[in-house]
Amino acid sequence: MDSEEEDEGQGEEDDELPEALANGDKNSQLAVGFKGDRSYVVRGNNIGVFRHSGDQDVKYYATIGNIANPKGVKFNPKKVGTQTFDTKCCTF
């Protein structure tokens, strides 16, 4: 593949960005479980949940989307942490 083809291929990938990246949201918070096998990454008002194992492998597990308060008002978490022996993620 020559350099022109490589440049064209990279441009195509940019057009297919996931919605969260396309709208400018960036990872802002990280909570890593101490006893459990989960890590939580905040991006906008979504939380990505990742599994990790002893061999330092990290895999996407789920997304907790559209974070909102009990009245239904969406917000972007400013702080995130784990609780209950790393089985739950809490946001503030």
Looking at every residue in the chain, the average pLDDT score rounds to 75
pLDDT surpasses 80 at 78: yes
Could you tell me the maximum CA-CA distance found in the chain, to the nearest angstrom? 56
Q: Where are the domains of the chain?
A: 27-91
Q: Radius of gyration of the chain from Cα atoms?
A: 17
Query: What pLDDT score does 87 carry?
Result: 57
At 45, give phi and psi (nearest 5°): -105, 35
- For 21-64, write each residue's pLDDT tens digit: 556 788 998 888 877 788 889 998 898 989 887 777 888 889 98
pLDDT of residue 85: 60
Token pair in block for residue 74: 């969406």
Please report the pLDDT score of residue 73 as a whole number.
Answer: 94
Q: Is the per-residue pLDDT at 7 higher than 50?
A: no
DSSP 50: E
